[in-house]
């Protein structure tokens, strides 16, 4: 089970499988990681997903350690509007770390 084509994580999953030397037999493509996790919990297959915010009973989560899997995440904000203090602090942090948020 995997996300539908067009999702960044789907591209990463396809690339990792190719690098490992196989093409997965995809039984289901979905739009939400939690939907896929629910299908895994129902015993319908396996999926490569980001860590859950809350563990799902019956699902064993393993960490992929090699090859390293990374993805880019963007941040957008509305120009020309005053930021609240938390937004300003977060933007300042992000901009100070530009290009170096990954270890």
Highest mean pLDDT among 25-29, 58-62, 65-69, 93-97: 25-29
How many residues does this entry show for the chain? 103
- How far apart, in whole angstroms, are the C-alpha atoms of residue 46 and residue 37? 8
Q: How many CB atoms lie within 10 A of CB 47?
A: 21
Whether pLDDT at 40 is above 80: yes
What six digits make up the tokens of 99? 């290009």
Alpha-carbon distance values, 45 to 10, 27, 99 (Å): 16, 8, 36
Whether pLDDT at 103 is above 50: no
Taking all residues of the chain, what is their mean pLDDT, rounded to a whole number? 84
6 CB-near residues (< 8 Å, 6+ apart): none
């Amino acid at each position: 089970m995997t996300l539908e084509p067009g999702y960044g994580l789907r591209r990463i999953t396809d690339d990792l499988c190719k690098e490992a030397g196989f093409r997965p037999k995809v039984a289901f493509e979905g739009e939400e990681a939690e939907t896929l996790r629910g299908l895994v919990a129902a015993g319908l297959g396996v999926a490569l997903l980001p860590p859950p915010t809350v563990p799902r009973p019956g699902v064993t989560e393993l960490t992929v350690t090699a090859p390293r899997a990374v993805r880019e995440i963007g941040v957008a904000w509305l120009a020309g509007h005053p930021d609240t203090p938390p937004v300003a602090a977060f933007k300042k942090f992000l901009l100070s770390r530009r290009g170096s948020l990954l270890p």
